Amino acid sequence: MDGVISTEALEQRRAEMLREAELNYLEQALQANRKRPTTPRWASIVAWELARAIGILRKFFRKPKNAD
């Protein structure tokens, strides 16, 4: 019986391969979710522009350093 594989061994190997494929699929889905930003791109642009405008206003309204 050299070279002959039992049907139980084949079924077991098939089940292992299916589990491995499912784990790989779930791992890829998790990685895809991590790469996706949680906030929309426009929100970060708006936040950056607001911070920039606030910085400009602060610079405009601050006291001069060498005021006598």
The 10s digit of each residue's pLDDT in 5-60 is 789 999 999 999 999 999 999 998 888 777 766 677 888 889 999 999 999 999 88
Is there a domain that residue 67 lies in?
no
Is there a domain that residue 66 lies in?
no
Q: Residue 43 has what pLDDT?
A: 86
Is there a domain that residue 13 lies in?
yes
Domain count within the chain: 1
Is there a domain that residue 2 lies in?
no
Is there a domain that residue 34 lies in?
yes
Is there a domain that residue 53 lies in?
yes
DSSP conformation letters of 10-61: HHHHHHHHHHHHHHHHHHHHHHHHHHS-SS-HHHHHHHHHHHHHHHHHHHHH
Q: Which two tokens stand for residue 4?
A: 């002959």
How much is the CA Rg of the chain, to the nearest whole Å?
30
